[in-house]
Protein backbone atom coordinates (compact mmCIF):
# COMPACT_ATOMS: atom_id res chain seq x y z
CA UNK A 1 0.00 0.00 0.00
CA UNK A 2 1.00 3.57 -0.72
CA UNK A 3 -0.71 6.28 1.32
CA UNK A 4 -1.07 9.98 0.50
CA UNK A 5 -2.26 13.03 2.41
CA UNK A 6 -3.31 16.34 0.90
CA UNK A 7 -2.56 19.79 2.34
CA UNK A 8 0.59 18.67 4.18
CA UNK A 9 1.73 22.29 4.28
CA UNK A 10 -1.04 22.82 6.84
CA UNK A 11 -1.01 21.78 10.48
CA UNK A 12 -3.53 18.93 10.33
CA UNK A 13 -2.26 17.48 7.06
CA UNK A 14 1.33 17.52 8.31
CA UNK A 15 0.33 15.85 11.59
CA UNK A 16 -1.58 13.09 9.77
CA UNK A 17 1.46 12.48 7.57
CA UNK A 18 3.68 12.20 10.65
CA UNK A 19 1.37 9.63 12.22
CA UNK A 20 1.41 7.56 9.02
CA UNK A 21 5.19 7.78 8.75
CA UNK A 22 5.48 6.46 12.31
CA UNK A 23 3.39 3.36 11.63
CA UNK A 24 5.30 0.06 11.64
CA UNK A 25 6.10 -1.50 8.29
CA UNK A 26 7.65 1.45 6.44
CA UNK A 27 4.61 1.96 4.21
CA UNK A 28 5.32 4.68 1.62
CA UNK A 29 3.68 8.03 2.43
CA UNK A 30 3.32 10.81 -0.14
CA UNK A 31 2.46 14.39 0.75
CA UNK A 32 0.52 16.71 -1.54
CA UNK A 33 0.70 20.47 -1.15
CA UNK A 34 -0.25 23.46 -3.25
CA UNK A 35 3.34 24.65 -2.85
CA UNK A 36 5.53 21.62 -2.05
CA UNK A 37 8.63 23.79 -1.55
CA UNK A 38 7.05 25.19 1.63
CA UNK A 39 7.15 21.74 3.27
CA UNK A 40 10.63 21.16 4.66
CA UNK A 41 10.31 18.96 7.73
CA UNK A 42 8.43 15.76 6.83
CA UNK A 43 11.12 13.79 5.02
CA UNK A 44 8.68 12.21 2.54
CA UNK A 45 8.06 12.45 -1.19
CA UNK A 46 6.16 15.66 -1.98
CA UNK A 47 3.98 16.26 -5.02
CA UNK A 48 1.89 19.23 -6.23
CA UNK A 49 -1.64 19.21 -4.83
CA UNK A 50 -3.55 22.37 -5.76
CA UNK A 51 -7.28 21.64 -5.38
CA UNK A 52 -7.99 23.96 -8.33
CA UNK A 53 -5.79 21.97 -10.77
CA UNK A 54 -7.45 18.63 -11.60
CA UNK A 55 -4.84 17.44 -14.11
CA UNK A 56 -2.03 18.17 -11.66
CA UNK A 57 -3.89 16.27 -8.96
CA UNK A 58 -4.41 13.25 -11.19
CA UNK A 59 -0.71 13.11 -12.03
CA UNK A 60 0.26 13.49 -8.37
CA UNK A 61 -2.04 10.66 -7.28
CA UNK A 62 -0.59 8.07 -9.62
CA UNK A 63 0.49 4.99 -7.67
CA UNK A 64 -1.49 5.97 -4.54
CA UNK A 65 -3.74 3.31 -2.99
CA UNK A 66 -5.43 5.27 -0.18
CA UNK A 67 -5.78 9.04 0.26
CA UNK A 68 -6.66 11.40 3.10
CA UNK A 69 -8.43 14.48 1.74
CA UNK A 70 -7.96 17.34 4.20
CA UNK A 71 -10.89 19.74 3.90
CA UNK A 72 -9.97 22.97 2.14
CA UNK A 73 -10.13 26.47 3.55
CA UNK A 74 -11.84 28.25 0.64
CA UNK A 75 -15.28 29.80 0.87
CA UNK A 76 -18.08 27.19 1.06
CA UNK A 77 -19.28 27.82 -2.49
CA UNK A 78 -15.77 27.16 -3.82
CA UNK A 79 -14.61 24.23 -1.71
CA UNK A 80 -17.32 21.85 -2.95
CA UNK A 81 -15.90 21.92 -6.49
CA UNK A 82 -12.33 21.86 -5.17
CA UNK A 83 -13.06 18.66 -3.25
CA UNK A 84 -14.78 17.20 -6.31
CA UNK A 85 -11.60 17.87 -8.26
CA UNK A 86 -9.65 15.75 -5.76
CA UNK A 87 -12.25 12.96 -5.74
CA UNK A 88 -12.37 12.77 -9.54
CA UNK A 89 -8.58 12.91 -9.82
CA UNK A 90 -8.25 10.12 -7.27
CA UNK A 91 -10.71 7.92 -9.13
CA UNK A 92 -9.01 8.57 -12.46
CA UNK A 93 -5.58 7.80 -10.94
CA UNK A 94 -6.72 4.44 -9.56
CA UNK A 95 -6.90 5.35 -5.87
CA UNK A 96 -8.91 2.68 -4.07
CA UNK A 97 -9.90 4.43 -0.82
CA UNK A 98 -10.71 7.96 0.31
CA UNK A 99 -10.73 9.32 3.85
CA UNK A 100 -12.16 12.81 4.39
CA UNK A 101 -11.62 15.24 7.27
CA UNK A 102 -15.09 16.68 7.76
CA UNK A 103 -16.49 18.57 10.75
CA UNK A 104 -19.11 18.37 13.45
CA UNK A 105 -21.31 21.45 13.33
CA UNK A 106 -24.74 23.03 13.03
CA UNK A 107 -26.17 22.25 9.61
CA UNK A 108 -28.66 25.14 9.62
CA UNK A 109 -29.40 28.37 11.41
CA UNK A 110 -25.94 29.73 12.26
CA UNK A 111 -23.21 31.69 10.52
CA UNK A 112 -21.11 28.51 10.49
CA UNK A 113 -23.80 26.42 8.80
CA UNK A 114 -22.77 27.18 5.18
CA UNK A 115 -19.33 25.71 5.93
CA UNK A 116 -20.91 22.63 7.51
CA UNK A 117 -23.27 22.22 4.56
CA UNK A 118 -20.35 22.33 2.11
CA UNK A 119 -18.65 19.56 4.09
CA UNK A 120 -21.84 17.50 4.06
CA UNK A 121 -21.96 17.82 0.27
CA UNK A 122 -18.39 16.56 0.02
CA UNK A 123 -19.31 13.66 2.29
CA UNK A 124 -22.14 12.79 -0.13
CA UNK A 125 -19.78 13.09 -3.11
CA UNK A 126 -17.32 10.70 -1.46
CA UNK A 127 -20.06 8.17 -0.68
CA UNK A 128 -21.12 8.33 -4.34
CA UNK A 129 -17.56 7.99 -5.69
CA UNK A 130 -17.64 4.22 -6.06
CA UNK A 131 -14.45 3.96 -4.00
CA UNK A 132 -13.98 2.62 -0.50
CA UNK A 133 -14.31 5.45 1.99
CA UNK A 134 -14.35 6.54 5.62
CA UNK A 135 -15.32 9.96 6.96
CA UNK A 136 -14.26 11.66 10.18
CA UNK A 137 -16.06 14.66 11.60
CA UNK A 138 -13.70 16.81 13.65
CA UNK A 139 -14.59 18.37 16.96
CA UNK A 140 -13.42 21.91 17.68
CA UNK A 141 -9.67 22.38 18.03
CA UNK A 142 -8.67 23.28 21.58
CA UNK A 143 -5.25 24.59 20.49
CA UNK A 144 -6.50 28.10 19.59
CA UNK A 145 -7.65 28.59 23.19
CA UNK A 146 -4.18 27.57 24.38
CA UNK A 147 -2.50 29.84 21.83
CA UNK A 148 -4.79 32.70 22.93
CA UNK A 149 -3.75 32.42 26.57
CA UNK A 150 -1.85 35.74 26.63
CA UNK A 151 -4.92 37.58 25.37
CA UNK A 152 -7.10 35.78 27.92
CA UNK A 153 -4.64 36.76 30.65
CA UNK A 154 -4.67 40.40 29.55
CA UNK A 155 -8.47 40.43 29.72
CA UNK A 156 -8.72 38.22 32.81
CA UNK A 157 -11.51 36.23 31.22
CA UNK A 158 -12.81 34.03 28.43
CA UNK A 159 -15.74 35.80 26.79
CA UNK A 160 -17.90 34.29 24.03
CA UNK A 161 -21.46 33.27 23.21
CA UNK A 162 -21.28 29.55 24.11
CA UNK A 163 -23.18 30.04 27.36
CA UNK A 164 -23.60 26.79 29.29
CA UNK A 165 -23.18 24.66 26.16
CA UNK A 166 -20.65 21.85 26.32
CA UNK A 167 -18.09 21.50 23.53
CA UNK A 168 -16.42 18.28 22.45
CA UNK A 169 -12.98 19.71 21.75
CA UNK A 170 -10.11 17.80 20.17
CA UNK A 171 -6.47 18.30 19.19
CA UNK A 172 -4.72 17.96 15.86
CA UNK A 173 -2.52 15.22 17.28
CA UNK A 174 -5.50 13.13 18.38
CA UNK A 175 -7.26 13.74 15.07
CA UNK A 176 -4.16 12.63 13.18
CA UNK A 177 -4.10 9.42 15.20
CA UNK A 178 -7.74 8.81 14.26
CA UNK A 179 -7.22 9.55 10.57
CA UNK A 180 -4.27 7.18 10.40
CA UNK A 181 -6.60 4.52 11.79
CA UNK A 182 -9.39 5.37 9.34
CA UNK A 183 -6.95 5.10 6.46
CA UNK A 184 -5.38 1.80 7.50
CA UNK A 185 -8.26 -0.11 9.19
CA UNK A 186 -10.51 -1.40 6.43
CA UNK A 187 -13.08 -2.64 8.95
CA UNK A 188 -13.95 1.05 9.46
CA UNK A 189 -14.80 1.55 5.78
CA UNK A 190 -18.23 2.92 5.05
CA UNK A 191 -18.54 4.69 8.40
CA UNK A 192 -18.90 8.32 9.46
CA UNK A 193 -17.32 9.01 12.85
CA UNK A 194 -17.44 11.92 15.30
CA UNK A 195 -13.89 12.62 16.47
CA UNK A 196 -13.87 14.57 19.72
CA UNK A 197 -12.94 14.37 23.36
CA UNK A 198 -15.08 14.68 26.47
CA UNK A 199 -17.39 17.71 26.11
CA UNK A 200 -16.76 20.56 28.57
CA UNK A 201 -18.29 23.97 29.30
CA UNK A 202 -16.44 27.27 29.00
CA UNK A 203 -16.30 27.47 32.80
CA UNK A 204 -14.56 24.07 32.81
CA UNK A 205 -12.21 25.20 30.05
CA UNK A 206 -11.26 28.24 32.13
CA UNK A 207 -10.54 25.93 35.07
CA UNK A 208 -8.26 23.70 33.00
CA UNK A 209 -6.39 26.71 31.64
CA UNK A 210 -6.05 28.19 35.11
CA UNK A 211 -4.46 24.99 36.43
CA UNK A 212 -2.15 24.72 33.44
CA UNK A 213 -0.98 28.34 33.30
CA UNK A 214 -1.51 29.63 36.83
CA UNK A 215 -4.10 32.14 35.65
CA UNK A 216 -7.33 33.30 37.31
CA UNK A 217 -9.61 33.36 34.29
CA UNK A 218 -13.38 33.47 34.59
CA UNK A 219 -16.00 32.98 31.90
CA UNK A 220 -18.31 35.75 30.71
CA UNK A 221 -21.21 35.04 28.40
CA UNK A 222 -21.73 37.39 25.44
CA UNK A 223 -24.66 37.67 23.05
CA UNK A 224 -24.14 36.01 19.69
CA UNK A 225 -24.30 39.39 17.97
CA UNK A 226 -21.70 40.97 20.24
CA UNK A 227 -19.34 38.01 19.92
CA UNK A 228 -19.56 38.04 16.11
CA UNK A 229 -18.76 41.76 16.16
CA UNK A 230 -15.81 41.14 18.49
CA UNK A 231 -14.39 38.34 16.33
CA UNK A 232 -14.99 40.24 13.10
CA UNK A 233 -13.10 43.25 14.42
CA UNK A 234 -10.08 41.06 15.17
CA UNK A 235 -10.23 38.41 12.43
CA UNK A 236 -12.03 40.04 9.51
CA UNK A 237 -15.36 39.76 7.76
CA UNK A 238 -14.88 36.15 6.56
CA UNK A 239 -13.46 34.33 9.58
CA UNK A 240 -15.13 36.41 12.32
CA UNK A 241 -18.72 35.31 11.60
CA UNK A 242 -17.59 31.70 11.11
CA UNK A 243 -16.07 31.66 14.60
CA UNK A 244 -19.22 33.27 15.94
CA UNK A 245 -21.29 30.57 14.27
CA UNK A 246 -19.22 27.82 15.88
CA UNK A 247 -20.02 29.22 19.32
CA UNK A 248 -23.69 29.49 18.40
CA UNK A 249 -23.49 25.75 17.75
CA UNK A 250 -21.87 25.17 21.13
CA UNK A 251 -24.71 27.08 22.81
CA UNK A 252 -27.22 24.90 20.93
CA UNK A 253 -25.57 21.68 22.14
CA UNK A 254 -24.38 20.57 18.69
CA UNK A 255 -20.93 19.64 20.03
CA UNK A 256 -22.17 17.93 23.20
CA UNK A 257 -21.78 14.33 22.05
CA UNK A 258 -19.76 11.34 23.24
CA UNK A 259 -17.98 10.80 19.93
CA UNK A 260 -16.52 7.72 18.25
CA UNK A 261 -12.83 8.28 18.93
CA UNK A 262 -12.29 5.08 20.91
CA UNK A 263 -14.17 2.98 18.34
CA UNK A 264 -11.86 4.32 15.64
CA UNK A 265 -8.52 4.21 17.47
CA UNK A 266 -8.95 1.52 20.11
CA UNK A 267 -8.26 3.89 23.01
CA UNK A 268 -10.02 6.83 24.69
CA UNK A 269 -9.39 10.38 23.55
CA UNK A 270 -6.79 12.13 25.69
CA UNK A 271 -8.36 13.81 28.72
CA UNK A 272 -8.18 17.58 29.06
CA UNK A 273 -6.38 17.47 32.39
CA UNK A 274 -3.71 15.22 30.88
CA UNK A 275 -3.40 17.31 27.74
CA UNK A 276 -3.04 20.62 29.54
CA UNK A 277 -0.69 19.17 32.14
CA UNK A 278 1.73 18.35 29.32
CA UNK A 279 1.68 22.03 28.38
CA UNK A 280 2.40 23.01 31.98
CA UNK A 281 5.30 20.55 32.09
Each residue's pLDDT, cut to its tens digit, for the chain (281 residues) gives: 999 999 999 999 999 999 999 998 878 999 999 999 999 999 999 999 999 999 999 999 999 999 999 999 999 999 999 999 999 999 999 999 999 999 999 999 999 999 999 999 999 999 999 999 999 999 999 999 999 999 999 999 999 999 999 999 999 999 999 999 999 999 999 999 999 999 999 999 999 999 999 999 999 999 999 999 999 999 999 999 999 999 999 999 999 999 999 999 999 999 999 999 888 76
Q: Of the candidates 80, 94, 12, which has an alpha carbon nearest to the alpha carbon of residue 52? A: 80
Residue 119 is predicted with a pLDDT of 98
Q: Report the alpha-carbon angle 156-161-162, nearest 5.
A: 95
Cβ neighbors of 182 (< 8 A, separation 6 or more) are 99, 134, 136, 188, 193, 264
Q: Of the candidates 203, 170, 210, 191, which has an alpha carbon nearest to the alpha carbon of residue 264? A: 191
| CATH class of the domain whose range is 3-138+171-195+258-269 | alpha beta
Residue 58 is predicted with a pLDDT of 98
Q: Report the alpha-carbon angle 104-110-116, nearest 5.
A: 35
Residue 277 is predicted with a pLDDT of 87
Residue 67 is predicted with a pLDDT of 98
Please tell me whether residue 102 adopts helix, strand or coil conformation.
Answer: strand
Q: Of the candidates 78, 110, 82, which has an alpha carbon nearest to the alpha carbon of residue 6? A: 82
Residue 130 is predicted with a pLDDT of 98
140-146-148-149 Cα dihedral, nearest 10 degrees: 140
What span, in angstroms and rounded, lies between the C-alpha atoms of 182 and 170?
16
Contact indicator for 46, 204 with CB cutoff of 8 Å:
no
How many CA atoms lie within 13 Å of 243's alpha carbon, on the beta-carbon side? 20
Residue 182 is predicted with a pLDDT of 98
Q: How many beta carbons lie within 10 A of that of residue 46, not counting itself?
A: 21
Contact indicator for 260, 198 with CB cutoff of 8 Å:
no
What span, in angstroms and rounded, lies between the C-alpha atoms of 53 and 72?
14
Cross-strand partners of 5: 31, 68
Amino acid sequence: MTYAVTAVSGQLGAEIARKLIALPGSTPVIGLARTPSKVTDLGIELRPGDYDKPEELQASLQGVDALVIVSGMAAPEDRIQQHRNVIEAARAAGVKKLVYTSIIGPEAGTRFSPVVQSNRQTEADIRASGLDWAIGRNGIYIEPDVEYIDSYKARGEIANSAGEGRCGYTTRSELAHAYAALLTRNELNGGTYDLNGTPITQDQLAGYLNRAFGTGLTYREMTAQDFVADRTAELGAFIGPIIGGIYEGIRQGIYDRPGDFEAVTGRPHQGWGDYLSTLRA
